[in-house]
A and B are shown apart, each in its own frame.
Chain A
Amino acid sequence: MATNSKAYSLPSNVSPETVANTSSLLRIVSLALISGAAIASRLFAVVNFESIIHEFDPWFNYRATRVLASKGFYAFWNWFDPTAWYPLGRVVGGTVYPGLMATSGVIYNILHALHLPVDIRNICVLLAPGFSALTAWSTYMFTKEMKDESAGLLAAAFIGIVPGYISRSVAGSYDNEAIAIFLLMFTFYCWIKALKTGSALFGTLAALFYFYMVAAWGGYAFITNMIPLHALALILMGRYSSRLYVAYSSWYAIGTLASMQVPFVGFQPVRTSEHMGALGVFGLLQIIAFAELVRSHVSSKQFQSLLYASVIGAGILGTAGIVGLTYKGWIAPWTGRFYSLWDTGYAKKYIPIIASVSEHQPTAWPSFFMDLHFLIFLFPAGVAMCFKQLRDEHVFVIIYAVVASYFAGVMVRLMLTLTPCVCVAAAVAFSSLLDTYIDPAEPNVPKEEAEATEADPGAADAPTTPKKAKKASAPPPTLGDFVGKFVVDEKKPHGIFGLNTRLAVILNALAMLVFFVLHCTWVTANAYSSPSVVLASSNPDGSQHIIDDFREAYYWLRQNTPQDAVVMSWWDYGYQIAGMADRPTLVDNNTWNNTHIATVGKAMSSSEEVAYPILRKHDVDYVLIIFGGLLGYSGDDINKFLWMVRIAQGVWPNEIQEPNYFTPRGEYRVDDQAPPAMKNSLMYKMSYYRFAELFGGQPAQDRVRGQQISKTSPTLDYLDEAFTSENWIVRIYQVRKEDLLGRDLKLANAFEAGRKRKKQKPPVRRRAIA
């Protein structure tokens, strides 16, 4: 009698073992296919362009990895690079997160031990796609703990192809994030597992992967604060258990000691405020554990309340102690980077270098859709479902969702940390939807109510098969379907009738998935696969035209200049010059020395006479600039110029003032109306030197700014044009040596050009003689 009716029949002659075996085989196959899809979709960059290292930071990582692979780990560890930050140099081994390079080095050595002579560059290029497969797997494991295997598979598929993660992990994007997201998810998985089972093994594993994460990415601070936050939330919710103690203590004690092994991190875990939260929660847990132990032996009511008071008191004392130590200077206060997360205007005011990086800008809302597509709609639903069950691990996802959503709104690059959480939550929501609608069980309608339900529009879908009679005779159901819980009237049977409702919903859901795949593929192919070292445009016939100015210029430097020729450029191009041209640079993307960068900014933004002594003092032989005015390449130095001015102004507020570079009406112009400070600046002169000649008398048009450049070219007295690439994107100028006769170079130039000094009168006399 209690048998429920089915919307469609399932084969009944299959043994449970067969079902279990088949489903586990299917899971393995699906995971393999997901990994394949994750890797394959990241290869657009290689297929469309070539196997090349992308962008800026990866060039440094690649260069460091080459040192590691060719000279060994100790040489890399002790590497002092005299060519970076000329003349200061850089202690690379102590100022780098070595995890990425070490990973590639290990893979390289393993492959070579197996007699597979793979080029180190190919390992570096393909490392990120390879690790994305591991990320998919770890997300599967993580989501499995939240709901079940099917949600895990969905989450793995989502994270495998979601653009928010692909944006930082295409082939060639050899950056720390490439391996860090896998480590992030796996550390979180170990933490959840440790918390659920109360096993020190998983706590130790979490600590080990935390160590790997610390060695790999500066974003490890996210884990350092997420796990304590979760633990604290559980304590405050009254969910303290010995499992929490075991998991957190083993993770923190081993993980913190391990994290201090990385030279770049050093003593920070015990010295800076960013890490104090974890320490505080650790201390709190010890106190609570002790109090619990005492409580289990003494049952006096009064004693227990006193115990609670003392625990709270000790907690407050501990917090006061940390605050006091911070004031006394034992513990470093929050760093500027951290403040800039809370006050989005902070960086622009106090640390322009951080604010000048485009990926540190606040996120525009369309990019949420661009990077996450329909997952962003499912995300809140998934979080709400976590609230419905609210086991310990769901609290984690909720906290993660809140914290990461905020951070993703503050900075574009932190979209990356939000993405895994969105995938997990969306997978939970989506798989709940599928579970509900694929489940063939139909709600039972009691006989007396059957007539009434018939009139109900909801029951109109009920099939009129003979089954219905059976169904109608069944007693009122107790099975609370998931969706049914949303219905207010609990007594009414709820659920889904018939096949057509099911098909309508499931087909819609599948359509969403299909659109998601199409969107991801399109975004990956068009937006995120450009190496930015090589640009692509399309010819009128639709074929691809490669613009290879960067490499052209860097190889020119490599082949036509002495090995020790110092190249000055804005810091964005430092790593590329070091990696591709192999020449010393003044500043690079490490940005550790603000003054040095400001010096370059000052040289670029002041007049030739002022800049020349700076250039000579720093032994600069060549100045390299990026100019997009001819081609319309908008990421050029004139567009970055205001940041150079701002950073220079931060150090020399009396000499460089930002308002001088705007017209009186507050416009940023490069045409005839440009202010004198702009027109005399080295950057302006180098950018537009002989630019007008290209147009042969026609008005010269700057295609980025959309302004007309004056026909008379700026003159350069202290620099010579050495090289300009095919599309004028890279222009290299040679700095002149001092005049042999001791004249000022301006005068010497004037003399050579046959121009006379204005004070001299002889022309008149000479003409008179003639």
Chain B
Amino acid sequence: MPASKTPSTSQKSSAAVASTTTKQTQQQVTGTTNAIQTLFKAYNETTSSRLKLVDAFLVFLMLSGISQFLYCILVTNFPFNAFLAGFGSNVGQFVLTASLRAQVNPENRTVFKDVSPERAFADFVLGSIVLHFFVYNFLG
């Protein structure tokens, strides 16, 4: 159950951001647009559809991870290795996809000079294969 650490932090992050945004809305009662709306608008306008696809996958992985974590806490953690494998697969895939997203994001071109988008995708595939090799081995 201590494995719960990772998800709780990511939950926390979203919760923290949510709380800040609510505070933000309270502070900006006079404003016409609240922060969340600004955020969504900016996101919709500046993000390419490819990145949006990646983001959709990220959201799915996050939801899947959260549901597994809730199952572990509320129902049982009995095959703990199986839980860790499933949850680790979610977290691992999430960070690998997030890495891919960062690498192919045109805004980050200057940061990743040595990694072309094609290379980034190859890295992503290799990382995922290695990750799922261990996941499969650990499912038991």
Contacts and interface: CB of A to CB of B under 8 A. Distances in A.
A259 to B, nearest CB: 9
A268 to B, nearest CB: 10
B115 A257 contact: no
Contact of A245 (B27, B92, B102): B102
A276 B23 CA distance: 32
Contacts of B48: none
B19 to A, nearest CB: 7
A245 B99 contact: yes
Given A271-B2, A317-B12, A261 B138 contact: yes
A246 interface: yes
A203 B98 CA distance: 14
Interface in A276-307: 276, 279, 282-284, 286-287, 289-291, 294, 296-298, 300, 302-303, 306-307
A501 to B, nearest CB: 40
B1 A313 contact: no
Contact of B114 (A197, A208, A270): A197
Nearest to A325: B2
Contact of B5 (A287, A290, A291, A322): A322
Q: Max chain A CB contacts within 10 Å: which of B24, B39, B92?
A: B92
A200 B101 CA distance: 12
A199 B115 contact: yes
A508 interface: no
Nearest to B45: A297
Contacts of B6: 279, 282-283
Interface string A183-218: 000000000000001111101100110000000000
B76 interface: no
A314 interface: yes
Interface string B101-140: 0110001100110110001101110110011001101100
A306 B108 CA distance: 24
Q: Max chain A CB contacts within 10 Å: which of B35, B38, B130?
A: B130
A253 B91 CA distance: 7
B13 A254 contact: no
A330 B127 contact: no
Contact of B123 (A204, A253, A270, A298): A204
Interface in A345-395: none
Contacts of B10: 283, 286-287
A302 B35 CA distance: 10
Contacts of B16: 287, 310-311, 313-314
B39 A286 contact: no
Contact of B99 (A207, A249, A261, A283): A249
A258 B103 CA distance: 24
Nearest to A305: B20
Contact of A294 (B17, B102, B119): B17
Nearest to A306: B20
Interface string A231-261: 0000000000111011001101110111011
**B interface secondary structure, majority:** helix
Chain B contact patch, size range: 35 or more
A254 B127 contact: yes
Contacts of B27: 302
Contacts of A482: none
A582 B75 CA distance: 50
Contacts of B14: 290
Q: Max chain B CB contacts within 10 Å: which of A203, A246, A256?
A: A246
Contact of A199 (B1, B2, B98, B119): B119
Contacts of B115: 197-199
A283 B112 contact: no
B99 A246 contact: yes
Given A257-B134, A270-B3, A306-B24, A204 B126 contact: yes
A200 B13 contact: no
Nearest to A204: B127
Given A204-B130, A243-B111, A297 B39 contact: yes
B24 A302 contact: yes
Contacts of B124: 200
A267 interface: yes
Contacts of A271: 2
Contacts of A204: 123, 126-127, 130
A173 B34 CA distance: 68
A279 B9 CA distance: 10
B60 interface: no
B39 A318 contact: no
B2 A256 contact: no
A193 B55 CA distance: 27
A242 B19 contact: no
Given A300-B38, A306-B20, A253 B92 contact: yes
Nearest to B1: A330
B95 interface: yes
A331 interface: yes
A249 B3 CA distance: 16
B93 to A, nearest CB: 8
B46 interface: yes
A270 B5 contact: yes
A321 interface: yes
B5 A257 contact: no
B100 A200 contact: yes
B12 A198 contact: no
Nearest to B121: A200
A253 B17 contact: no
B82 interface: no
A207 B92 CA distance: 12
Nearest to B107: A296
Nearest to B133: A258
A283 B131 CA distance: 19
A269 B20 CA distance: 32
B57 interface: no
B99 A250 contact: yes
B123 A201 contact: yes
A200 B123 contact: yes
Interface string A309-349: 11101100110011001000011000000000000000000
Contacts of A267: 80-81, 84
Contacts of A261: 134, 137-138
B110 to A, nearest CB: 10
Contacts of B23: 306
A257 B135 contact: yes
Q: Max chain B CB contacts within 10 Å: which of A199, A267, A311, A325?
A: A199
B39 A298 contact: yes
B5 A254 contact: no
A573 B20 CA distance: 64
Nearest to A326: B2
A330 B1 CA distance: 7
B35 A310 contact: no
B102 A242 contact: yes
A246 B5 contact: no
Which 9 residue pairs across A and B have the least CB separation, nearest first? A283-B9, A249-B95, A253-B92, A200-B123, A297-B42, A246-B99, A310-B16, A197-B114, A242-B102
22 contacts: A198-B115, A200-B96, A200-B100, A201-B122, A201-B127, A204-B126, A204-B130, A207-B130, A242-B111, A249-B95, A249-B99, A254-B130, A257-B134, A260-B84, A287-B13, A289-B102, A297-B39, A306-B20, A306-B23, A307-B17, A317-B12, A322-B5
Interface of B: 1-3, 5-6, 8-10, 12-14, 16-17, 19-20, 23-24, 27, 35, 38-39, 42-43, 46, 80-81, 84-85, 88, 91-92, 95-96, 98-100, 102-103, 107-108, 111-112, 114-115, 119-120, 122-124, 126-127, 130-131, 134-135, 137-138
Given A254-B92, A257-B85, 17 more contacts: A198-B112, A204-B127, A242-B102, A242-B111, A246-B102, A246-B103, A254-B130, A260-B81, A283-B5, A298-B39, A300-B35, A306-B23, A317-B12, A318-B5, A321-B5, A322-B5, A330-B2
